[in-house]
Amino acid sequence: MRTQVAIIGAGPSGLILGALLHKAGIDNVILEQRSGDYVLSRIRAGVLEQVCVDLLDEAGVGERMHKEGLPHDGFDMVFAGERRRIDLFGLTGKRVMVYGQTEVTRDLMDHRATIGRPTVYEAENVRIHDFDGDKPWVTYTHAGREERLDCDFIAGCDGFHGVCRASVPARAITHHEKVYPFGWLGLLADVPPVHHELIYGHTERGFMLASMRSHTRVRYYIQCGLHEKVEDWSDEAFYDEFRRRLPAEDAARLITGPSIEKSIAPLRSFVGEPLRFGRLFLAGDAGHIVPPTGAKGLNLAASDVALLARGLVEHYAERSSAGLDDYSRRALARIWKAERFSWWFTQLMHLFPETGSFGLKMQMAELDYLFSSESAQRVVAENYVGLPI
């Protein structure tokens, strides 16, 4: 089999790239190690930047998002028991969209089925070959048969643990990483949200986030130790601790219900440089990880593939390599800005055991300054709604 672009990974980044390439008339095949049901079962982010919303519209998959998603004009921050609001729309003229990554993935999968572009699920033993030459190719096993896919380019959209980044020689890539000394314990439940917008909280008991997926489904988080185990947290224990970290007025409104899913996510920052290796391009989690504070993971992946798609369209339509040659530099410039914002927001809102009373006072001073300065709030709002691609 032959195609123009082999896309490794059928998560949102791979599927968005496939949709954008299809729109431009560029042939592509997606290979995915897992089943389609497994891909849809993954619980991920739910806040989309304006840039990501516009990109989904461009790809032709935004209709259900606009019908069922929740546009948010701002979010709240709590510190010292006091709640303040960041007015995203008032400060930037832009909004974010609350729409779960699972739903984004479902829309993209349905779109791909409609347009008839091939996706090979349960492609095992995927290997990429000769990506440093002019004729890369991919091998994999499907339904017990060895298969080969020849292509012009390979897009590595297969995540942090995928084969694409692992295939790059160690001497050719530089890794930058920060691991945080805590995680997020998250609970998903079908109950009404405690507030109509997100609440990020800095409390003496640790960070909390009241998020949502819809008017009837919530995603709540609390900061926890890396040594803790999900099975040690009953739903009742989670809600009791979450309630303690909420402002009193919100705690009184909290509606609880049985969890659909609970999990603990460690927090880390990671970037691999560069993102291009001959005819192999890394995008999304294959090239970078951000802490979930600030909701940049899916959004960064979307901006990566937007840049990559533009470069590929330019290559085939104009016979120009300029966009592809500049992909890594342009993508990394935006990635590092998002990494900075996620790092700053994480440093600001969590308890760090090693910082002591001085570190806590610095957090309080930073939060106090933030809400005494419209300019500082505008910086936060600009980063939260998404910087230009």
Average pLDDT over residues 70-87: 94
Element (H, E) at 368: helix 356-370
Which of left, alpha, beta for 217 (phi over 0: left; psi -120 to 50: alpha)? Answer: beta
* pLDDT tens column, 136-157: 999 999 999 999 999 999 999 9
Q: Sheet of 28-31: strands edge to edge? A: 119-120, 28-31, 5-8, 153-156, 280-282, 276-277
pTM: 0.95
Do 202 and 360 touch, CB atoms closer than 8 A? no
* pLDDT tens column, 228-264: 999 999 999 999 999 999 999 999 999 999 999 999 9
Average pLDDT over residues 63-70: 97
Domains of the chain: 5-70+97-177+268-348 (3.50.50.60), 180-267+352-385 (3.30.9.10)
DSSP 250: H
At residue 44, does pLDDT exceed 80?
Answer: no
Element (H, E) at 218: strand 218-224
What amino acid positions are annotated as catalytic residues? 72, 200, 292, 296, 384
* pLDDT tens column, 273-322: 999 999 999 999 999 999 999 899 999 999 999 999 999 999 999 999 99
Do 29 and 6 touch, CB atoms closer than 8 A? yes
